[in-house]
Amino acid sequence: MGKKTSERKKSRREVKSVPQQQQQQQPNVAKCQANARMEVERWVRRALDKGVDGLREEYLSLKRYIPEDMTTNAFQGTFEAGKSRYKDVPCQDKCRVILRWPGVTKDYIHANYVATPIDKKRFICTQGPMPNSVIDFWHMIVQEESDTIVMLTNTVEKGLNKCEQYWPNDVGDTVSFGDITISNMAVRALAPDETNVRVCLLKVQWKEGGQEKTREVRHYQWVNWPDRGVPPCRLTSMVLLSNVRGSKKPIVVHCSAGIGRTGAIVAIEYILEKLQQGIPCESMDQILKELRNQRPYTIQNDMQYLYVHRVMLFYFIDKYKVFADNDDMMAKYKTFIANYDKITG
């Protein structure tokens, strides 16, 4: 466990958003090229034509899909050693993050790279750190030069431990795990109307080659996304992604198992990148396979699969007015919303 200290003086620093010039532009349908607009419309039309029931059937037909060539050799024995959280969620060897930390002989962490159209290592999807794997987690952050962590769980949910407290929660606090020290420099909400995502600016310190090294890491925690469920349908996902999109290093995303909520948020960005570049992605079942080939079991249930569609429909139709003049499509959208709300409660 890490040692915790507290500085009583409150920091006046604010967690600033990633500088605007470093952010990629928020996907703007109105400004997309003609082929991108066409792909967006095809995607929206397919989702509305299938409807909630059709999309649930589509997901359930792939619920047990895993890569044909999947091996899990590195995972063997890690559950018993306290390095893997769930015995029924193995980490596949392909795409796994291999730790290479000086003086450490074990190279395992339950984490996989997930590529997107713009980067072969756009995301690292990982499980929530455990008492025996917190130091591995921070070794990975330093090794991969990651400057962004997205946490989609609480440490405890419904009385169950879902993730170790691996970062200092309050401004001025410091924790140490082995040879790495993390300090909380500032805290803010994601946005004035997005208070369910808490952003911490962390200072990470370690020694490398006898020299002191320091890096700032932004830690985003979404606190009201229930395990195996879905959060309220707002544009929180889009606001969150717009904040982290500017990172040029692997974006680390985790929930508890690192497949359900994690898979949903990664899927949204994966689809957005394809659509923005005019890459066909009408076949959502194929998209799910592409993601699971990199991080098996991505998107844990049909509710999360529906959530991905609901948020993107909200984004395209309500925000960017796709099909706003098409009465037939708008009627289907109204039905979709009603059915989605009925199922998700």
Specify whether the CB–CB gap between 292 and 305 falls below 8 A. Answer: no
Specify whether the CB–CB gap between 334 and 42 falls below 8 A. Answer: no
Q: How do residues 84-96 score in pLDDT, each as one tens digit?
A: 999 999 999 999 9
Can you tell me whether residue 326 is helix, strand or coil?
coil
255 is catalytic: yes
Could you say which residues of the chain have pLDDT below 70? 1-33
Residues 6 or more apart whose Cβ sits within 8 Å of residue 144: 97, 121, 124, 249, 250, 252
Query: Residue 156: enclosing H or E segment and its boundaries?
Result: strand 156-157
| pLDDT given at position 20 | 45
Q: Alpha helices of 173-283 — where are they, by DSSP H?
A: 236-244, 261-276
DSSP string, 9-76: SPP----PPPPGGGSPPPP-GGGS-HHHHHHHHHHHHHHHHHHHHHHHHHHHHTTT---TT---TTTT
Cα distance between residue 333 and residue 327, in whole Å: 10
Cα distance between residue 204 and residue 214, in whole Å: 6
Cα distance between residue 144 and residue 196, in whole Å: 28
Domain annotation for the chain: domains and CATH numbers: 3-27+66-297 (3.90.190.10)
Point out the catalytic residue in the list 91, 200, 255, 281.
255
| pLDDT given at position 187 | 99
Inter-residue long-range contacts of 103-106, CB under 8 Å, 24+ positions, other chains counted? 104/139, 106/136
* pTM of the predicted protein model: 0.90
Query: Residue 82: enclosing H or E segment and its boundaries?
Result: none
CA trace torsion 234, 235, 237, 241 (10° rounding)? -170
Cα distance between residue 331 and residue 271, in whole Å: 24
Cα distance between residue 235 and residue 323, in whole Å: 19
Cα distance between residue 302 and residue 296, in whole Å: 16
What single-letter amino acid sits at 308? Answer: V
Cα distance between residue 212 and residue 58, in whole Å: 52
Q: Is the dihedral of CA 262, 268, 269, 271 positive or negative?
A: positive
